[in-house]
A and B are shown apart, each in its own frame.
Chain A
């Protein structure tokens, strides 16, 4: 079973920031938080990951709470092309442990 909880769906107006929450209250000390997204009928795409510090790259920002029990993925200026299912996953960063994907959050960006 996935170790994260995400809302099943969210809407966001085009040009606004999309804030996608994720609860991972049972995360252990060596587990990272990963975010992927899946545009319809394509393979999932890696977005960002982090351990305890906030992270930012060209796609998004990841904010992790101090107790690491929850996180938020931020798409600063959502576009229609950001409409996708977003998956939040926790896993140790060994490359040997298969990632477990839950149902994710379906983000709809509206014009």
Chain B
């Protein structure tokens, strides 16, 4: 079945460590997105990529970095510069022409 896989589902890190969240899709979608969700809040856009080797900052990119070396992969690194990294992270993808967003089931990151 086609879809988006985010791993791991739960991730725990110590403050000051960088951590990379995985997002893989086999939908052959061009565009991929990372959103952050805090309790009781909507989704906020971190980064997005419309094509391989290109990406743009979203509304809350500070303290995060991404890469898009392959069409199917869009990993997100939460750096030590991110002041409040504990959150639920969601990856999504879409075709550039005509399809709704498909989401993964998220990674819940806890930094202590």
Contacts and interface: CB of A to CB of B under 8 A. Distances in A.
Interface residues of A, number: 22
B42 A99 contact: no
B42 A102 contact: yes
6 contacts: A36-B100, A42-B105, A44-B90, A93-B98, A98-B48, A101-B44
A96 interface: yes
A110 interface: no
A29 interface: no
B48 A2 contact: no
A100 B90 contact: no
The 6 residue pairs across chains A and B that have the minimum distance between CB atoms: A43-B103, A46-B100, A101-B43, A95-B96, A101-B42, A103-B42
Nearest to B44: A101
Interface in B73-112: 88, 90, 92, 94-106, 108
A45 interface: yes
B55 to A, nearest CB: 12
Contacts of B53: none
Contacts of B45: 98, 100
A103 B44 CA distance: 10
Contact of B103 (A2, A45, A96): A45
